[in-house]
């Protein structure tokens, strides 16, 4: 097998630890991922050897730091195949990125009576900023409905457009279900209606090749910490033509060109959108994570994760009294399920005791859960450092849970 | 009948749990306790009595009977319900002063601390807070009367 | 001497390095500070052993992570003596913090014709967000003038208040000059006029004890990376009574209570203002930095830094043709100067060659520089790991610069 | 007079700098060069000819003379001015095509890379860009004529 899982697991030191005196199984990857040693060491090296604030500094280390930061931008550009470096804006995470776009785009293009389309599969972070925008501007939300597999109803989507539609905000991959949405096609539909699209890629970039130009996404947003990078980092890709048009969101040091008390003019892209000292250590760590992903190979990652998905689906569906939700055609290896008659919290508490980290609850997707009349599920989200043996261990733990609460 | 103090009952519970070496036995005991909890009438399972908490839902009611606070409570999660049973055993039927000032050290000592972590959001932390608030409210009320 | 400078310098590994084959002298501390080993190790430990997303997770590491994060909040609370934990909001930096307040407070309390007071000493990050707010709402800025020493004119300040004044935004210590403003007195004046005050503490918290309750500040904002902590971290202290009143800024995961497509209700403080996955690794690292500062002792730090200031003032004023600016009464150890007939850029390039990191330019305070008719200065900003010998080395380098450009 | 190519002049400059072991001598040479630069008339030191750059200011003008681009430039910082002198020596009086396509490798080779770092913001990076833009503009113009 080309995919050397043992080597990979050794790259992630935390996977070697024990929890509750059991080997640690980390199945909470949709919440955040673990970090390969090289990412940790990359950031250490900065603090131990080169740390200095970036941009406009005249001294040696400031120069080193700035180059590393701008090289990281180029690494991200290549990773998502953006056309230009300055279309890559660094933020503190997906939530911050969506807030940025909702504010900046909203200030310029959304006014009373306008409409914004989102989907039923969105994370709260891709719902609430649009709600707030609607509230501020007197606009309204239209929601793309789903079927019972947790798939968007594309026909219904097309019907939501009107002359009032100003933007579509859509997740690439849903964090509650793992469903992959046909974003390319959906962007095409939006563009035919003259409407730009923001894609929430928080659960997508780490699982398969994303090409923002091929998708023709107007905005593409994701978090570093969910793709094996550090916390406090994130990216907004935006098309130059739109980024030039919309006003900045945060303002302050470095993103300005000229400041007088009367009037301020803004710096060019990408700086216009990067106010204040960026998390440059984090960003450089993120570039190291991307290099790690690329060396491992996104195609290999995707096909190994598909194996995990198939094996997990098979094993979990064999368990009596386990309801596996949303087995969409096209999805990443997220398993969302409930055990009949057992509260997810009770199950989660016991599964934890076997050293297995799963998440329980509504996964920041309340409206979605309500659509299915459930308060929450148990969610196991797997990535390429997980194994089929770990899935077996989860199944064993589930059997124990059933015994206890029978 | 000389009533036991809260401290005495806490020590009693700690002793009961001491025979369990394993978390599994502790949790099984909690499940057992949950079955002994009378719970709460469905009609009270309303937002009015609901305690916030994202993982499991907890409902709590309090009444005053002969200068003592009587609690009834329930949850949709069994482990949570088991701990509620312990809390009711400890605090229900006590004078408000006693409840307000008590320090619930038993949770730590019987190794169920994780269930009272604010991070777990099972509603128990808020429930204890709410139990004390009820007691405080009754105390203030009786002083004003 | 109680202050063991040798031990302290050993705590900061980067200070041992060489630059251009000379021992490294880091005098760019106002831009960002170096990190003690313990901060680096604290964050490593997270990624190596306990990394997990915080809040609402049911499993063991999520619990560990959440506790560490909330303990960090308590560490910050104590450090600035806030009344309550939930008055401490984590952000990505000072700029983000000021933007948050300008938006949230502005949405609620600022409308057409209103006035906002700032000072002539502000960093761009405490100017531009207020300008943008004024532009959005049709309000206007009033600016507190200064004297030639770079000190605010308090009498003029008092005259700026009117019934239209909604907030005062004021730096505690100015980054361009090092001037310490009499913020307590100035907050008193504002409060007598019924106006709340935001204090920019980015250059203050690391140099002496700040007690937000004693100051009676309504908002107090600072950055982690300028106080020996990691990049991508920052704090907004806000009085509970105001934080409860104003709307959230960023919205999304974790900061919501209930979400439906129709309406969203927000979580309680501090979560209402912490949307998305926070930089929890950074925040825990920041807490380690605060512990380091507290163990070193803020009083000892302040008196040692005063020695550096006095020594530097003496040595630099002895240099012919060196104009030292803004020798305010009350200031931190920042030296801002120009060399007659020599462009700061030329000087800076040569000083760098001697292994000394200084900053040249307008230090993100253009309006301030314009007031003095200069394009920029050379700025050396020192902290407690710097030494008098390093000041001597700067003086030698300046002599070389003078020779070269004579 | 067979004119030297840009490449030849770059190699010449590299050779000139090779005799300097020390950065100090290199910078002293740049200072010397800065003095030989005619600079720009004060009336052209206007925003129109100013190149953005936060640390030192750079002014640049271009004219077309006999199908060749003639540059004049200046800066308020001496080191910047010294490098400008090298750039003018290299590019001024050349045909647009030559300027547009040239790869300026000498900067790296003579050990002045730090002066062309975008981080230093001395305006030189923008200046080179602007020099090429002028050349491009003249080329397009002459084609259209
Ligand atoms: C007084 C002051 N305010 C605000 C800032 C901006 O801080 P940050 O870049 O960390 O957002 C700085 C940083 O230079 C500063 O010195
Ligand atoms: C689809 C999706 N969008 C947005 C977010 C929010 O990301 P962050 O918390 O990093 O801002 C998440 C994280 O769970 C997510 O899964």
pLDDT at C250 exceeding the cut of 50: yes
User: pLDDT averaged over chain D?
Assistant: 88
Does a structural domain hold residue B1? Answer: no
Residues 342-381 of A with CB under 8 A from C: 345, 348-349, 351-352, 356-361, 364, 366-367, 370
pLDDT band (50, 70, 90) for residue D53: low
pLDDT band (50, 70, 90) for residue C253: confident
Partners of D80 on chain C (C-beta within 8 Å) are: 345-346
Task: Quote the CA–CA distance of D55 and D122 in Å, as a whole number.
Answer: 5
User: Is B26 within 8 Å of B20 (Cβ atoms)?
Assistant: yes
User: Is A99 within 8 Å of A129 (Cβ atoms)?
Assistant: yes
Q: If you measure CA to CA, which chain B residue comes closest to A20?
A: B23
Does a structural domain hold residue D64? Answer: yes
Q: Which residues of D are catalytic?
A: 54
Which one is predicted more confidently, C207 or B44? C207
**Closest CB to A258 among C136, C143, C366:** C366
pLDDT at residue D121 in the model:
66
Determine which of A338, A343, A350 to mutate to test the interface with B (most B C-beta atoms within 10 Å).
A343
Do A350 and B27 make contact, defined as CB atoms within 8 angstroms?
yes
pLDDT at A150 exceeding the cut of 90: no
pLDDT band (50, 70, 90) for residue B1: very low
Q: Which of C116, C267, C299 is nearest to C195 (CA)?
A: C116
Q: Which of D75, D81, D71, D76 is nearest to D35 (CA)?
A: D81
pLDDT at D119 exceeding the cut of 70: no
- Reported as a single tens digit per residue, the pLDDT across A41-96 is 999 999 999 999 998 788 999 999 999 999 999 999 999 999 999 999 999 999 99
Which residue range is the domain that position D42 belongs to? Answer: 6-144
Does a structural domain hold residue D1? Answer: no
The mean-pLDDT minimum among B101-110, C195-204, D64-73 falls in B101-110
Do A56 and D121 make contact, defined as CB atoms within 8 angstroms?
yes
pLDDT at residue A47 in the model:
98
Which residue blocks in C116-217 are alpha helix, DSSP H? 128-137, 154-159, 183-192, 212-215
pLDDT band (50, 70, 90) for residue C238: very high
pLDDT at residue C262 in the model:
84
Task: Quote the CA–CA distance of D86 and B14 in Å, as a whole number.
Answer: 84
pLDDT at residue A209 in the model:
97
User: Is D58 within 8 Å of D129 (Cβ atoms)?
Assistant: no
Task: Quote the CA–CA distance of A135 and A101 in Å, as a whole number.
Answer: 16
Do A67 and D120 make contact, defined as CB atoms within 8 angstroms?
no
Helix (H, G, I), strand (E, B) or coil at D37: coil
pLDDT at C1 exceeding the cut of 60: no
- Active site annotation includes C364: yes
Ligand with an atom nearest the CA of residue C363 = 1
Residue with tokens 């070496």: B21
The mean-pLDDT minimum among A213-217, A395-399, C147-151 falls in C147-151
pLDDT at C406 exceeding the cut of 90: no
Determine the average pLDDT of the residues in D56-83.
Answer: 92
User: Is A119 within 8 Å of A95 (Cβ atoms)?
Assistant: no
Does a structural domain hold residue B46? Answer: yes
Residues 33-92 of D with CB under 8 A from C: 54-57, 76-80
pLDDT at C333 exceeding the cut of 90: yes
Which residues, other chains included, contact A204 with Cβ-Cβ below 8 Å and sequence gap of 6+? A172, A173, A180, A210, A222
pLDDT at residue A58 in the model:
84
> The CATH number of the domain where B117 resides is what?
3.90.1010.10
The mean-pLDDT minimum among B28-32, B124-128, C402-406, D18-22 falls in B124-128
pLDDT at residue A60 in the model:
94
Task: Quote the CA–CA distance of C108 and C104 in Å, as a whole number.
Answer: 7
Q: What is the Å distance from ligand 2's center to B55 Cα?
A: 19
Does a structural domain hold residue D69? Answer: yes
Task: Quote the CA–CA distance of D30 and C401 in Å, as a whole number.
Answer: 14
Tell me the nearest-neighbour CA distance from C30 into chain B, angstroms: 37
Task: Quote the CA–CA distance of A258 and C375 in Å, as a whole number.
Answer: 12
Which ligand 2 atom is at minimum distance from the Cα of A234?
10
pLDDT at A403 exceeding the cut of 60: yes
Quote the longest CA-to-CA distance of chain B.
Answer: 50
Domains along chain A with CATH numbers: 5-30+297-399 (3.90.1150.10), 40-294 (3.40.640.10)
Partners of B122 on chain A (C-beta within 8 Å) are: 345
Residue-by-residue DSSP string for A297-341 = -HHHHHHHHHHHHHHHHHHHHTSTTEEE----SSB-SEEEEEETT
Does a structural domain hold residue D117? Answer: yes
A155-191 burial, b if ≥16 CB within 10 A, otherwise e? Answer: eebeebbeeebbbbbbbbbbbbbbbbbbbeebbebbe
The mean-pLDDT minimum among B86-100, C38-52, D44-58 falls in D44-58
Do C279 and A231 make contact, defined as CB atoms within 8 angstroms?
yes
Q: Give how many domains chain B has, as a whole number.
A: 1
Does a structural domain hold residue D54? Answer: yes
User: Is B6 within 8 Å of B35 (Cβ atoms)?
Assistant: no
Whole-model pTM?
Answer: 0.95
**Closest CB to D77 among C20, C345, C404:** C345
Beta strand C234-238 with C88-91 is antiparallel
Does a structural domain hold residue B21? Answer: yes
Determine the average pLDDT of the residues in A287-295.
Answer: 98
**Closest CB to A261 among C50, C143, C256:** C143
Determine the average pLDDT of the residues in A311-322.
Answer: 97
- Determine contact: C54 vs chain B, CB below 8 A: yes
ipTM at complex level: 0.94
Q: Measure Cα distances from B12 to B90, B111, C124, C350 in Å.
A: 10, 15, 63, 76
pLDDT at D1 exceeding the cut of 60: no
């Amino acid at each position: 097998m080309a995919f050397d899982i043992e080597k990979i697991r050794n790259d992630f030191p935390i996977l070697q630890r024990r929890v509750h005196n059991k080997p640690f199984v980390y199945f909470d990857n949709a919440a955040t991922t673990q970090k390969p040693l090289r990412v940790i060491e990359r950031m250490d090296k900065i603090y131990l050897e080169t740390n200095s604030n970036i941009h406009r500094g005249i001294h040696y280390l400031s120069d080193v730091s700035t180059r590393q930061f701008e090289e990281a931008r180029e690494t991200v550009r290549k990773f998502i195949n953006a056309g230009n470096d300055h279309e890559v804006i660094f933020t503190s995470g997906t939530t911050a990125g969506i807030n940025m776009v909702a504010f900046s785009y909203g200030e310029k293009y959304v006014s009373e009576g306008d409409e914004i389309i989102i989907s039923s599969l969105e994370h709260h972070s891709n719902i609430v900023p649009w709600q707030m925008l609607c509230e501020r501007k007197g606009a309204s939300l239209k929601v793309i409905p789903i079927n019972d597999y947790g798939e968007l109803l594309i026909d219904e989507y097309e019907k939501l457009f009107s002359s009032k539609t100003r933007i579509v905000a859509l997740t690439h991959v849903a964090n509650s279900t793992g469903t992959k949405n046909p974003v390319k096609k959906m962007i095409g539909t939006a563009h035919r209606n003259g409407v730009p699209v923001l894609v929430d890629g928080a659960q997508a970039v780490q699982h398969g090749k994303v090409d923002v130009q091929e998708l023709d996404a107007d905005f593409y947003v994701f978090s570093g910490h969910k793709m094996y990078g550090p916390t406090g980092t994130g990216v907004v890709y935006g098309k130059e033509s739109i980024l030039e048009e919309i006003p900045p969101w945060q303002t302050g040091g470095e993103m300005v060109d000229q400041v007088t008390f009367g009037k301020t003019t803004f710096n060019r892209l990408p700086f216009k959108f990067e106010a204040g000292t960026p998390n440059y250590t984090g960003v450089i760590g993120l570039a190291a994570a991307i290099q790690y992903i690329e060396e491992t190979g996104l195609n290999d990652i995707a096909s190994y994760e598909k194996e995990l998905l198939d094996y997990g689906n098979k094993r979990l569906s064999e368990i009596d009294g386990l309801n596996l939700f949303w087995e969409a055609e096209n999805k990443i290896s997220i398993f969302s399920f409930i055990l009949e008659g057992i509260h997810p919290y009770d199950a989660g508490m016991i599964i934890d005791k076997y050293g297995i980290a799963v998440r329980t609850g509504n996964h920041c997707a309340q409206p979605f859960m309500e659509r299915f009349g459930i308060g929450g599920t148990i969610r196991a989200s797997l990535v390429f450092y997980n194994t089929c043996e770990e899935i077996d261990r989860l199944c064993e733990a589930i059997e124990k849970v059933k015994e206890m609460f029978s | 009948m000389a009533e036991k103090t809260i401290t005495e009952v806490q020590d009693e519970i700690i002793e009961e749990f001491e025979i369990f070496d394993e978390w599994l036995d502790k949790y099984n005991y909690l499940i057992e306790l949950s079955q002994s909890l009378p719970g709460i009438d469905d009609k009270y399972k309303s937002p009015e009595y609901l305690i916030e908490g994202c993982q499991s839902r907890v409902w709590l009611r309090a009444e005053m009977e002969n200068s003592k606070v009587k609690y009834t409570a329930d949850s949709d999660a069994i482990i949570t319900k088991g701990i509620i049973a312990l809390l009711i055993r400890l605090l229900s039927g006590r004078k408000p002063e006693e409840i307000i000032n008590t320090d619930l050290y038993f949770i730590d000592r019987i190794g169920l601390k994780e269930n009272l972590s604010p991070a777990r959001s099972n509603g128990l932390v808020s429930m204890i807070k709410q139990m004390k608030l009820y007691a405080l409210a009754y105390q203030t009320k009786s002083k004003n009367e």
